Structures are given as C-alpha cells and as structure tokens.
Amino acid sequence: MGRFAELIQQNNNSKKLMQFAIKELQQVLKVDRVAIYRFASDWSGKFIIESVAANWPKLVGTELSQVKDSAIQETQGGRYLRRESLQVNDIYQTQENDLPLSLLEQSQTKAYLLVPIFNGEKLWGLLGIFQNDRPRQW
C-alpha cells in the first residue's frame, strides 16, 4: 500500500498514471473499488478518480464524490497527518469511521482502508480501498 501511495504522491498531477495505478491495485487486491480522495483547504474533499467494479455505484462524477462533515475534516487531517492509515473491517463494527456512514451506505461499502498521500510534507489526499460485497479482514 505504501509503495502505491508513494507512486501516486510522486505523480499526483498525472491523471493517466493515477488511473493505471489504482486499476492495477484493484485487481491485485481483488477489491470492489480503489479511489483517490483529494483534500480541499478546509479539509473537506472529494473523490477525484476511481476504479470500480461494474456492479457498484460510482463516486466520481456524482453527488457522492463530495465529502463534508467527516471526522477527517473535524480533526484537520488527524491521523493521516501523522502518516497513519485506517483499516475498517466492518463499517458497522467500528468506532473509527473517518468517512460519513451515509456515504459508506450509499456507495454500498462494507469495509475499507484509507492510506495518506503526501506531496512533500503536505497531506494531499487519501488512497481509499473499498470492499462492497462483504466485511473484510485486511
């Protein structure tokens, strides 16, 4: 995961490369969705690119792409500023959902990982890896 986040960090202006990297990661991990979340200056953000299996709703280009009122926004980057990742095996069995439960339910997410992406020392965004068909032990 860290190597993929590093690759994206080094090339975060190349949409084509990001699309290739997340598609490869989706296939290697056998997950339903891999997406990149980009922070805005107020720590809200939006999903800017994704690779998603055909049978699941898209985030990018829909109202679901914009994320506000999240734990990430409240803590202004929180754990991710410390280069920590978040692993959620089951969205209903955790106290640590950094994404709004309504977003997770609408996107039919059951489990996810969030890995920070840095541009130099600045937290730029997150690499999100999502399992939709079942909870998952990462």
How much is the pLDDT for 74?
81
Query: In the 3-class helix/strand/coil scheme, how is 40-109 assigned residue by residue?
Result: CCCCCEEEEEEEECCCCCCCCCCHHHEECCCHHHHCCCHHHHCCCCEEECCCCCCCCCCCCHHHHHHCCC
Q: Average pLDDT of 97-125?
A: 91
pTM as predicted: 0.84
Q: Select from 103, 113, 96, 105 the least CA-distant residue to 25.
A: 113
User: What confidence category does residue 52 fall into, taking pLDDT thresholds of 50, 70 and 90?
Assistant: very high
How much is the pLDDT for 7?
59
CB atoms within 10 A of CB 66: 13
How much is the pLDDT for 6?
62
Task: Report the CATH number of the 2-131 domain.
Answer: 3.30.450.40
How much is the pLDDT for 43?
86
Strand partners, 33: 52, 130
Q: Look over the chain and give the mean of its residue pLDDT values, rounded to a whole number.
A: 87
pLDDT tens digit sequence for 35-48:
999 998 888 888 99
How much is the pLDDT for 113?
96
How much is the pLDDT for 89?
97
